[in-house]
Structure 1
């Protein structure tokens, strides 16, 4: 991500900080991601296996999917056969819905669920795995009939969706743990936000890339992040970097 792109993204994140409700967050996301064909979105924690439809819905932070589809999805218990949810259990990086379906192509129910989602207007999508501060698995998905994100824009969409999910958790009151980073951890995260690799950051700070990776790893642990992008988003949200 270039500095110019980051500055534009940061302006949007500041708008998210002013969002007063999940509906406001959803509206901002649709506006910001409309150029990629985003029409629908869903964010929430992953419920334990066997949870009732009501309990499943209680884990939802943002319901921006077609109502008829959400009702059918919950009533049929699709969450436990959904290819995207199953992939969340082992994949820490964003993935397209098509790649998730390919992985479970031998499961007729998984394929059927995605076909039904397409019938309701969510033909293609991108899912971003997340981790809450209490180490619960969560995710944010964006989708649409003509959804398409260029490979070089996936990182930007990931940062925006991750930050939006954090804002939703704050609105619910489930993300209030204060995180303390060392000065070095703050430095390496700031350079990561500027798009620098571990090697480039090491050159700037006159340390080895291995040392940079160590500080990135400890900061991810403190911020309860699955990956570097979520760590940057969490640090931005808490004002630890800018």
Structure 2
């Protein structure tokens, strides 16, 4: 069995997003890309990428860098994020210097590049994944280890790039099927069950009978589900729980 095939089988068998991420980060580090950010949003619009709290966000970057990049909103104006939003496939970060040379970067984008340089985020590749809906988008940024030049990263990509893209595509497709909680608050079994019945078109009275509860208790479970998911309506809760793969799951296999 080839090493690549063995790794892909391990990825697809990963029982949780955490297990998959640890495995994937270790593999990418073997190629020299030792810091990674994966992001996916179900809530894209023409003017926004959605609330960061609703992103699927996985990373092994230093928390101080992530606080700057995500917490302070630098990602909104980052040139490689802009590229990822409008393209599919892989792109060398040489793109940044080419854009700078032709005067295509804004002052804000230049500032973000300078901040990245101060955090040794200077060379690497971005992979933008094909959207699965009109409002979704996913991408991954592979940062080369400290001291590696973009020319060296490009040499690695020339030899192994097709395999790296394949591994990242499989990782992405697996991640979006695994249960996750963007806010860190998972639904209880009763909350999930109530939302599942709502998704099946049942009324509160129907759900009370099916679950052997009072209507007031069903309403309580739905209210707590809305609070856990940070939404205002039960319809929004059903949609968000479905996006997070928290509905119709088998107990004991949540990520």
Measured against the shorter chain, the TM-score band is 0.5 to 0.7
Distance 2:162 2:113 in 1: 24
Distance 1:100 1:165 in 2: 24
**1:64-213, aligned counterparts within 5 Å?**
64-103=60-99, 106-135=105-134, 136-144=136-144, 145=146, 146=148, 148=153, 149-172=156-179
Alpha-carbon contact 1:101-1:110 (below 8 Å) kept: no
- Relative to the length of structure 2, the TM-score reads 0.57
Aligned partner of 2:14 among 13, 19, 42:
19
Query: Post-superposition shift, 1:35?
Result: 3.0
Query: Post-superposition shift, 1:51?
Result: 5.8
Alpha-carbon contact 1:45-1:138 (below 8 Å) kept: yes
Distance 2:3 2:54 in 1: 33
Secondary structure at the counterpart of residue 100 of structure 1:
helix
Distance 1:95 1:61 in 2: 20
Change in 2 beyond 3 A, CA 1:29/1:78: same
- Relative to the length of structure 1, the TM-score reads 0.60
Alpha-carbon contact 1:43-1:139 (below 8 Å) kept: yes
Distance 1:19 1:101 in 2: 37
Distance 2:18 2:114 in 1: 27
Query: Post-superposition shift, 1:36?
Result: 2.3
Which residue is equivalent to 1:213?
Answer: none
Alpha-carbon contact 2:88-2:130 (below 8 Å) kept: no
- Corresponding pairs, count: 167
Secondary structure at the counterpart of residue 159 of structure 1:
helix
Change in 2 beyond 3 A, CA 1:61/1:19: farther
Secondary structure at the counterpart of residue 125 of structure 2:
strand
Which residue is equivalent to 2:215?
Answer: none
Distance 2:17 2:120 in 1: 21
Query: Post-superposition shift, 1:60?
Result: 2.7
The CA RMSD over aligned residues, in Å, is 2.6
Per-residue CA deviations over 1:104-151 (Å, capped at 9, x if unaligned) read 553232122123223224221211111243342211121132372331
**1:5-16, aligned counterparts within 5 Å?**
7-16=2-11
Distance 1:101 1:58 in 2: 32
Distance 2:78 2:140 in 1: 15
Structure 1, unaligned stretches of length 5 or more?
174-242
Change in 2 beyond 3 A, CA 1:101/1:20: farther
Query: Post-superposition shift, 1:50?
Result: 4.5
Aligned partner of 1:29 among 24, 27, 40:
24
